[in-house]
């Protein structure tokens, strides 16, 4: 959510700056009557940009897989090209931008040309609007194909899914995974969309790997050229421009990694189509066990096929106002009626319902862990060779207490962790648990967390 907000804010400010300069000039000249022509151009550009964005979105959703990948490549290349052009153009024209705009407006006023003002405003907003449409679509595509923690993984930064997209009574948002500061990995709430993304790597119905697309080599060569040019430009940019370019280069790098992988036929497992196996799972964003099972099938397929070994699974966000009607509870906010025991049916009813809801949530976790344990991997199973870190937003819902904070670690991490045990650590920082897992997985990090949550030592009882 934050990356798209920043894109919209940045491009909107650039367009507003240009329009503001022209509007201020017209008022300074006492020609407020000409403002309506300027606004006509602005509105026309906004409508056209909205139409282009919608057309690109519809095209991407309805194109076959091969053509969809081609469109995504074009959009990614266009995004990098626009950034490169914008940086170069601003370096050349930033000093005389205001004077140039005022001069063109002056010419339009002298000639009495309303069309001139319309065209000038139209083109100014159109450029920023088209950039916004391309950047937004590229950002959404990037959130659907996350990319690290495994060299050679097709999705190196992982797959990120969520069952409920209902917001909560906090400002923590819906993401629990981040690629960097202020760079969340938004959850994918659609099993169908994730299936579509993974389908290209699945084994065909006859059991043979899907053949490589001969056009992939040509697309990879184009990306090589763009990446080389962009990296050469980077050294001449300022810090802010470098960060903007780096985000798009990271997206292109991941796209290139996927192309390389797709060029090599893969004999992976059989993928489960959620529309066939779970046709009554409910709408995207609803809290149902079938939606969780659909995501579990797809995540296990991706991990067993070595497409990634990294994922985040947001069952609900902190203090979620969604309902747990799928397990028989009332179709009201679980957070208020059951978490805070405010159900009009009384405390006893709410407490029993809360217990039912917790069991329902843990059953969804059990579905995922059970599938991982049942999937062979190396000399053991997928769960043995993984570690799944699970927690909640609080330890006790009525008071939002943090005492006895629940942390569940499942899996042996390839033999690095002890299992089948309960550890109660008193008066300690919860950050020690994820830091322990980081070090067990070979991370060179010397600390974890920030401010009072920062730690530099782990929980030795977790280690084998």
Tens-place pLDDT, residues 347-374: 999 999 999 999 999 999 999 999 999 9
Identify whether residues 74 and 196 lie together within a single domain: no
Identify whether residues 130 and 165 lie together within a single domain: no
> Given this model, what pLDDT does residue 394 score?
86
Identify whether residues 32 and 166 lie together within a single domain: no
| 402 belongs to a structural domain | no
**pTM beyond 0.75, yes or no:** no
**Count of domains forming the chain:** 2
| H or E element at residue 81 | helix 65-93
Buried b (16+ CB within 10 A) or exposed e, 282-307: eeeebbbbbbbbbbbbbbbbbbbbbb
Higher pLDDT, residue 288 or 378: 288
Among 108-117, 280-289, 304-313, the least confident range: 108-117
Identify whether residues 132 and 281 lie together within a single domain: no
> Given this model, what pLDDT does residue 42 score?
74
Residue 253's pLDDT band (cuts 50, 70, 90): low
Identify whether residues 14 and 80 lie together within a single domain: yes
Identify whether residues 170 and 76 lie together within a single domain: no
> Given this model, what pLDDT does residue 284 score?
94
Identify whether residues 13 and 129 lie together within a single domain: yes
> Given this model, what pLDDT does residue 3 score?
47
- Full residue range of the structural domain in which residue 343 is found: 156-210+266-374
> Given this model, what pLDDT does residue 218 score?
47
Structure tokens at 292: 């969780």
Arithmetic mean of pLDDT over the chain:
75
Identify whether residues 160 and 204 lie together within a single domain: yes
| 57 belongs to a structural domain | yes
- List beta partners, residue 342: none
Identify whether residues 104 and 167 lie together within a single domain: no
> Given this model, what pLDDT does residue 142 score?
47
Could you give the CA distance from residue 461 to residue 464 in angstroms, rounded to a whole number? 8
Identify whether residues 97 and 191 lie together within a single domain: no
Helix%, strand%, coil% for the chain, nearest 5: 55, 5, 35
Mean pLDDT of the region 19-48: 70
């Amino acid at each position: 959510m934050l990356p798209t907000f920043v894109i919209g804010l940045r491009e909107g400010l650039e367009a507003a700056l240009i329009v503001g300069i022209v509007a201020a000039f017209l008022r300074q000249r006492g020609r407020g009557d000409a403002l309506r022509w300027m606004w006509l151009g602005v509105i026309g550009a906004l409508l056209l940009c909205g139409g282009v964005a919608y057309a690109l979105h519809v095209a991407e959703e309805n194109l076959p897989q091969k053509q969809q990948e081609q469109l995504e490549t074009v959009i990614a290349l266009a995004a990098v090209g626009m950034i490169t052009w914008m940086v170069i153009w601003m370096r050349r024209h930033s000093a005389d931008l205001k004077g140039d705009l005022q001069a063109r407006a002056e010419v339009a006023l002298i000639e009495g040309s309303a069309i001139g003002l319309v065209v000038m405003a139209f083109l100014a907003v159109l450029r920023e609007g088209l950039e916004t449409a391309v950047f937004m679509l590229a950002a959404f595509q990037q959130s659907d194909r996350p990319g690290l923690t495994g060299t050679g993984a097709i999705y190196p930064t992982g797959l990120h899914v969520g069952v409920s997209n209902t917001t909560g009574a906090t400002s923590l948002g819906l993401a629990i995974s981040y690629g960097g500061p202020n760079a969340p990995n938004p959850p994918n709430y659609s099993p169908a969309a994730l299936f579509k993304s993974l389908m290209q790597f699945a084994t065909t119905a006859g059991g043979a790997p899907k053949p490589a697309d001969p056009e992939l080599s040509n697309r990879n060569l184009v990306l090589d050229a763009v990446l080389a040019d962009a990296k050469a430009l980077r050294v001449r940019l300022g810090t802010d421009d470098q960060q903007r370019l780096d985000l798009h280069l990271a997206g292109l790098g991941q796209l290139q990694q996927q192309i390389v992988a797709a060029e090599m036929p893969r004999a992976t497992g059989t993928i489960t189509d959620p529309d066939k196996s779970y046709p009554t799972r409910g709408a995207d964003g609803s809290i149902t066990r079938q939606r969780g099972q659909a995501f579990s099938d797809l995540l296990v397929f991706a991990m067993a096929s070595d497409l990634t070994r990294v994922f985040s699974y947001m069952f609900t966000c902190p203090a979620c106002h969604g309902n747990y009607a799928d397990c028989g509870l009332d179709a009201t906010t679980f957070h208020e009626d059951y978490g805070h025991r405010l159900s009009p049916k009384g405390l006893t009813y709410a407490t029993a319902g809360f217990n039912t809801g917790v069991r329902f949530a843990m059953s969804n976790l059990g579905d995922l862990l059970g599938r991982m344990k049942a999937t062979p991997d190396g000399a053991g199973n997928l769960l043995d060779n993984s570690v799944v870190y699970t927690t909640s937003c609080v330890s006790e819902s009525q008071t939002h207490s943090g005492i006895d904070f629940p942390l569940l670690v499942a899996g042996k991490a390839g033999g690095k962790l002890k299992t089948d045990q309960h550890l109660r650590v008193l008066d300690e920082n919860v950050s020690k648990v994820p830091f322990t897992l980081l070090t067990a997985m070979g991370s060179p990090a010397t600390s974890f967390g920030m401010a009072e949550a920062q730690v530099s030592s782990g929980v030795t009882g977790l280690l084998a």
